[in-house]
Amino acid sequence: MTPDWVKDAVFYQIFPDRFYIGQGPAGQPAPVQSAFEAWEAPPTLRGFKGGNLWGVIEKLDYIKQQGFNALYFCPIFASTANHRYHTSDYFQVDPILGGNEALRCLVEEAHRRDMRVVLDGVFNHCGRAHFAFQHIMENEAASPYLDWFHIYKFPLNAYSKHPNYAAWWNNPELPKFNTANPECREYLLSVAEYWLQYGIDGWRLDVPNEIDDDDFWREFRRRVKARNPEAYIVGEIWDDASRWLQGDQFDAVMNYPLGRAILGFVGADALDKDLAAKSGLGRLESLGAMACHHRLEDLFRRYDWEIVTAQMNIMTSHDTPRIFSILRGQTERVRLAFAMLFTLPGAPTVYYGDEIGMAGGHDPDNRRGMIWDESRWHKSIQQIIQQMSALRRSLPALRRGRYQYLYAQDGHLAFARTLEQSSVVVTINASPEPWRVNIPLHGVWPRGGQAVDLLSGKSGRCAG
């Protein structure tokens, strides 16, 4: 079984350094504001803008108003990188973010608003500033942590281009843990357990496929679920994830394939394929309705339905260009992509700023400071997200209903979401011209029944 709450979740993904600078309590021993890069300046690979968790707390009401009830955070633990994937301390929330106290407060404030909090767990590798790795830097073979990594030779050349130890993508900044070492393994698993004590609702797992050890993830699951049976375990797997979705490892994965199908269909000729290709999205294909349907149906059949309705459905993230830029600023297409995302099984996930149509190219440009000047917001995008989220909230069939194919031709796709006696028909017109909908209903609605267009409120009648 997957956590029930995820089936009702709408995720908002936050890149903490770039969301909002909150004040927090006085006397926090962190760097002062003047030490940070200007909020509006183009992001740099190494610069910090100083967003923090106090800022997220201040904006929780904003987030809720946009229709989100779950937060998925990029890493928040102490790190030497602005994206915080270079973990230096797994037991400390980064001081710049406000430290552990800020997380405790954030979880409390989120839960008070019926919002969930999922953290990013980076267990394959750490930053070279990590305590155990630095221990080996200093003590070499005399370090009792020697076996926590895969060391080939001394002295370690951690600050040159060619690491003499196993590192993620051979990047010396990211030494790979030896998860076969029992103490190292216990250390990582204790991190997973530790933060559950703070009340977090789940772990998004960074590159979990690189820990090529199903037993590791099985134990991870057992220990996480023992502390919180409703905790969500979602892996960053970009393609087929069957190996991890047998019920004994992850609850779900980041469903980029679904996102690619939506973008391919809705984006069609407008797609900036070169831009997308620089990221993990790979080269997007323009898809007709039938091709899109096939991809969706394949995804829905490949995994258990329990998993399908708990997938983290995602189009764009901190790892991809922004949807506004991929769709070349065509607001109508962005609106349609989000509308479609909210009608499919699985939890819709929106990257901060995408809801207001922020532009952003390849990393680090996709990590600009959130725009808080409302005059610069694309309010029509915001509105469709709010509207679709409200629809999803009011119609259980959109969250838990089966996916039923109705019609697919060129830029026209129609399907139903059916739960018990209730069916919602979804029609998507990805073509630039109006579509006078004329589709077979295959019995999802009774002949002569009245139909209401849920977006416009107009009504019609099902033909006999």
Place of tokens 């679709």: 388
Q: Which is nearer to its own copies, 222 or 461 (CB)?
A: 222
269 catalytic per annotation: no
Q: How far is the CB of 160 from its own copies (least distance, A)?
A: 10
Which residues have C-beta within 8 Å of that of residue 242, sequence separation ≥ 6?
302, 303
Reported in sequence order, the residue ranges of 75-184 that DSSP labels E, i.e. its strands, are 77-79, 87-93, 116-121
Sign of CA dihedral 19, 359, 339, 267: negative
Cα 107 from Cα 164, distance rounded (Å):
40
CA 417 to chain centre: 24
Q: Which is nearer to its own copies, 186 or 410 (CB)?
A: 186
φ, ψ at 314 (rounded to 5°)? -145, 140
Q: Which is nearer to its own copies, 190 or 422 (CB)?
A: 190
Q: Which is nearer to its own copies, 66 or 171 (CB)?
A: 171
Q: Which is nearer to its own copies, 194 or 432 (CB)?
A: 194
Identity of residue 100:
N
Cα 297 from Cα 190, distance rounded (Å):
38
DSSP state of 9: -
Q: How far is the CB of 178 from its own copies (least distance, A)?
A: 12
Q: In a 3-state reduction of DSSP, which class is residue 225?
A: helix
Q: Which of 159, 69, 149, 72 is nearest to 110 (CA)?
A: 69
Which of the residues 94, 120, 173, 206 is marked catalytic? 206
Which of the residues 236, 251, 354, 355 is marked catalytic? 236
Q: How far is the CB of 162 from its own copies (least distance, A)?
A: 15
Q: Which of 217, 257, 222 is nearest to 237 (CA)?
A: 257
206 catalytic per annotation: yes
Are residues 286 and 267 in contact, defined by beta-carbon separation less than 8 angstroms?
yes
Q: How far is the CB of 385 from its own copies (least distance, A)?
A: 33
Cα 70 from Cα 50, distance rounded (Å):
23
Q: How far is the CB of 244 from its own copies (least distance, A)?
A: 24
Parallel, antiparallel, or unpaired: how do β-strands 70-73 and 202-205 relate? unpaired
Q: How far is the CB of 34 from its own copies (least distance, A)?
A: 9
Residue ranges binding its own copies (CB under 8 A) = 27, 29-32, 35-37, 44, 46-48, 50, 78, 80-82, 86, 88-89, 91-92, 95-96, 127-129, 131, 134-135, 137-140, 142-148, 155, 159, 173, 182-183, 186-187, 189-190
Which residues lie across from 167 on neighbouring strands?
Answer: 175
Identity of residue 118:
V
Q: Which is nearer to its own copies, 154 or 376 (CB)?
A: 154
Tell me the CA end-to-end span of the chain in Å, nearest whole number: 41
Q: Which is nearer to its own copies, 148 or 338 (CB)?
A: 148
Tokens of 416: 């139903």
Q: How far is the CB of 17 from its own copies (least distance, A)?
A: 11
CA 145 to chain centre: 33
Please list the active-site residues: 206, 236
